[in-house]
Amino acid sequence: MEKILFLVILLLAISFIPHITSVPFDERDLRSDESLWDLYERWQRHHAVAREHQEKQKRFSVFKENAKFIHEFNKQGKPYKLALNKFGDLTKEEFESGYVGSRVHKRKMFLSHTNTNKFMYDSVNVRDLPEFIDWRLKGAVTNVKDQKTCEQELIDCDTSDNQGCSGGLMVDAFKFIEKSGGVTTESDYPYRATNGTCNAMKIKSSVVVIDGHEDVPENNELALLKTVANQPVSVAIEASGQPFQFYSQGVFTGNCSTELSHGVAIVGYGIDKDNTKYWIVKNSWGPDWGEQGYIRMQRNVKAKEGLCGIAMAASYPIKTSPNPPSRKGNISLPHRLSNLYAAELVHTCPCSLAQGT
């Protein structure tokens, strides 16, 4: 038992070793426009960003303000840090428009998330739950994507309620997968970052099916904990603002509102070394954002909605039937894992605002 615990701790430690996904800097880099320009040049080389002269001057002004904001923020001693990541020369508004804001009306989030007494984990005893769980260690989580590698099948074909590149809701995506008889592989239906025409032949070649979905009782982090202890969960959060834009590492504690605007997946939970309880949240901004594409968000906060509204609109798929027979060249997911995989797959996202445009 002690060996297993040691291995879990070791894997966690390795997973949180920050990769060089941002450009380090200090106060000396902020002293003059000349030193800031050198910093901007380093940032462009690091992220392989090329700007035309006129655009570069404009972006430099944005970059300067972002660098100063990050530096001042990190001096405040909060439990999480910001960094000059790939969003370094985007304004807050550009970032929100390209990576956060869905044009699906926010009220629809609540209309889709129906209040129901049906909750399959209601009888779970909280005392029996593990103190820590990470579905990544159990093989139930796919690689982190960068909104340039979202599920094209859902963008093209799930258009009755969702709006393709304009964004959508996780519950509607679950309904589409149920109705269409499953979802195919990304290699069969690759992402193109644009709205397209649904390929009817490809959506018939499903490898994962689900039999239904349920909502986690809203505004209830305890119910959310029971669910995450059993499988990953699709949730919505409010993810705008510079602290989210430049998040690098640590347990995110806000500030944020409850104006839900972004779909993510909770793939675990734990307790930090200072006894702060957190959710392990998988994002869709690439592995070069945050903690290799993830963010740890504080849980058990005073607000019933959870931090950034994380407990307001959570859903998960239900699976009882077997997957379709595997076809040549396709993987066949184990029954249990395919149920877990479906939950973290369906945090639909809009087309991204590409760097360099």
CATH number of the domain to which 203 belongs: 3.90.70.10
Instruction: Tell me if 55 is assigned to some domain.
Output: no
pLDDT at 146: 85
In a domain, 129, yes or no: yes
Q: Is residue 354 part of a domain?
A: yes
Rounded to whole angstroms, the Cα distance separating 343 from 357 reads 32
**CB contact burial 7-27 (16+ within 10 A = b; e otherwise):** eeeeebeeeeeeeebbbebee
**According to the model, what pLDDT value does residue 117 have?**
60
- How many domains does the chain fold into? 1
- The C-alpha angle 206, 212, 335, rounded to 5 degrees, equals 55
Block means of pLDDT (10 residues each) for the chain, length 357 residues?
Answer: 41 46 93 98 95 93 98 97 97 90 49 63 96 95 74 42 47 54 51 49 55 88 98 93 97 94 94 97 95 98 97 87 57 46 50 29
CA 330, CA 184: separation in Å to the nearest integer? 9
Query: What is the model's pLDDT at position 205?
Result: 53
> What is the residue type of 39?
L
Cα gap 9→134, rounded to integer Å: 11
Place of tokens 């006894």: 275
Q: Is residue 332 part of a domain?
A: yes
Determine the longest span between alpha carbons in the chain, in angstroms. 64
Q: Is residue 32 part of a domain?
A: no
Amino acid letter, 76: Q
Token digits of residue 127: 């005392």
Instruction: Let me know if residue 40 belongs to a domain.
Output: no
For position 123, what pLDDT does the model report?
Answer: 95
pLDDT of the residue at 151? 42
Could you tell me if residue 56 is inside a domain? no
- For residue 5, being part of any structural domain is answered with no
Domain of residue 341: give its range: 90-357
